[in-house]
Chains A and B, each alone.
Chain A
Amino acid sequence: MPDSQEQITAEIVESHRVYAKAREESGQESRHVLRDFAPYRSSILRHPKQPLVVAGDPEAVELTGPVFGVTDVTALDSDLTRQHVGEPMGERITVTGRVLDRAGRPVRGQLVEVWQANAAGRYAHQRDDHPAPLDPNFTGVGRCLTDGDGRYAFTTIKPGPYPWRNHVNAWRPAHIHFSLFGTAFTQRLVTQMYFPGDPLFPYDPIFNSVPDEQARQRMVAAYDHDLSVPEWSRGFTWDIVLDGAFEGEHR
């Protein structure tokens, strides 16, 4: 018997309460996600139970990372509305921002990959079989390289929320999946960008797997009216900060 939303929400609230208490007592803020977050049922058997082992090797191979170049992307990759013969259905948006390391330096010339559902909340993926229409003019995959300021930019359509089977009446808030590379393999990040003011936030175990409220807000883009183009598109900005040690960090 799948769980009710009430049960999941109660678990989320309790987990956040435990975190808030620990934060108050220790003064320590958690800036990351919890891998062991039972309200997201699939995480129960898919997180390590042993503590991570600190690598602690200044010569570790992971302190450098893969590089990408102009041969790895094409011009159409960053405009998800132009990858087919016709126009996709939905609300045209632009999403832009800077990729920074934890020292605040721009991450230049690195690969940013995105994927998302269409305006109806359906992925162009065989395993997404819920009864919302596929859009023949929208695949929902994009790539670009960050520029000299660490900036990425995509044109796409606003994805719809979609149902999933974590519990009864589970709906994901609208989101765009982001995959990012830094200058070191340790800085690798896969995350999700959310849209401001989504009413589904309190119900979603994945969004709420980040226990700290301020950290959760770092996954939410801002609407930027100056980026909106008259009679064409609405603009959103979202900066991304990569964590993890990297070679040359302390220079």
Chain B
Amino acid sequence: MNPTPSQTVGPFFGYALPFPRGGEIAAGAGALTVHGHVFDGAGQPIPDALLEFWQADPAGGRGGAPGTLRRDPVNGAILGRHGLDFTGFGRVPTDADGHWTLRTRPPGGRPYIAVAVFARGLLHHLYTRIYLRGDVADPLLDRLTPERRRTLVATEERPGVLRFDIRIQGDEEHEETVFLDFS
């Protein structure tokens, strides 16, 4: 069947899509923090981007679990994950500085967190991956030049805190992030 075309999320998704603790796929002991900025082709941070994350659970399971939004049936408020199931899904808008933060546990199986990038000005979202370490054999990483490969690997700032910037468009000084095609 012919697909429905994509359109930009525009500037006004902020009161509809983000939800409290959307970037807390997992918390507590053993959780790690991944954070960074989203930049445009002029090297400017993008304050109206939305990132979504999908990953396997720590044992490698890819089934996910419902309850990411979990609602209060009394008043409709978002209670969020109850912390027992690993839902595998996170959603974070960038702040006024173009910055985002994710808290989760490392996935089992394939060593990456899948990311979908949405933004005002971006007409079709983009897929990329956060590889938590670079010293792995991986069918995608192994096909990339060292410069391109580096854009997919998070850098450790200190134990438990990883940095991962996303450049929707490269500029003279910065390599563009590798984006993926799953068609």
**A residues neighboring B (CB under 8 Å):** 31-35, 37, 40, 42-50, 52-57, 59-74, 76-77, 100-104, 113-115, 117, 123-125, 127-128, 139-141, 177, 179, 185-186, 188-192, 206-207, 209-210, 214-216, 218-219, 240-245
Contacts and interface: CB of A to CB of B under 8 A. Distances in A.
19 contacts: A32-B5, A42-B121, A43-B8, A44-B121, A45-B41, A48-B176, A49-B176, A50-B179, A52-B179, A52-B181, A56-B139, A61-B109, A71-B66, A72-B71, A188-B52, A188-B116, A207-B7, A219-B7, A245-B183
Contacts of B89: 66
Contacts of B119: 46
Given A61-B56, A61-B114, A69-B67, 11 more contacts: A42-B121, A46-B120, A46-B121, A52-B181, A62-B180, A77-B76, A123-B12, A127-B12, A127-B14, A139-B15, A219-B7
B54 A65 contact: yes
Size category, B interface: 35 or more
* Majority SS at the chain A contact face: loop
Q: Is the interface of B mostly helix, strand, loop or mixed?
A: loop
Nearest to A239: B4
A76 B107 contact: no
Nearest to A238: B4
A67 B3 contact: no
A45 B67 contact: no
B133 interface: no
B54 A243 contact: no
